[in-house]
Amino acid sequence: MSTLNGNAAGEDDDDEAEDAAGGQASSGEDDGENCPLCGYFNSPANGDTCNHHRVWVWDDVVEGSPVYEEFAAAWSDFSDLASSAEDVAEFADNALGLAEALAVPDALVAYSHWENSPLDVFVELAGAAVGEGWTVSGPLGGSGYCVYLESDERANVATDGYRALLAAIDPGR
């Protein structure tokens, strides 16, 4: 009995030690990920990000920087126009002709028909790097990842291209 009690007491001590360690571990839990471009540890919840950081996705909520938001708005407008066309193939042909005339990338027209999110298209067209993601446990936890850009150039070219196509196709907008 005394041995059992001793073991029980010992286990209790261990549990307390584990709880304490667990508490420390969760308060110091990784709340972020390393930038794929520079390796900096980004923690957007703490406002600590490198200068490649453009988008933070957390539990499917997208929080984008202005370069992403402007792209997403332009893409969504163009995608809406494309999908509302009576003849989608004809719309695409016309849009490709305009893209050539306006010297904007053909890819903008192809990606406008994707059944994907603006973020997926942003990653493709802007050449963005996607982080490996992380999870925070507990009732207030969640999971997410970030998207990074070496340069905004391709994103801005795509945004301007969608706006130019919109203006050419539907000047009344």
Q: Which residues bind Zn ion (CB under 5 A)?
A: 35, 37-38, 40, 50, 52
150 contact partners, CB below 8 Å, separation of at least 6: 37, 52, 127, 129
Which of 54, 162 has the CB closer to Zn ion? 54
If we measure between CA atoms, which residue out of 84, 86, 89 comes closest to residue 109?
89
Count Cβ atoms within 10 A of the Cβ of residue 110 and give its class: 0-12 exposed, 13-18 middle, 19 or more buried.
Answer: middle
Query: Element (H or E) spanning 56, and its range?
Result: strand 53-58
Which of 13, 48 has the CB closer to Zn ion? 48
Q: How far is the CB of 165 from Zn ion (least distance, A)?
A: 31
Q: How far is the CB of 38 from Zn ion (least distance, A)?
A: 3
Which of 50, 92 has the CB closer to Zn ion? 50
Which of 50, 98 has the CB closer to Zn ion? 50
Q: How far is the CB of 19 from Zn ion (least distance, A)?
A: 36
Which of 36, 105 has the CB closer to Zn ion? 36
Helices within the chain (DSSP H only): 2-27, 66-83, 88-102, 107-112, 118-126, 153-169
Q: How far is the CB of 149 from Zn ion (least distance, A)?
A: 9
d(CA 71, CA 109): 14
| Residue, CB closest to Zn ion | 35
Q: How far is the CB of 115 from Zn ion (least distance, A)?
A: 31
142 contact partners, CB below 8 Å, separation of at least 6: 58, 59, 135, 136
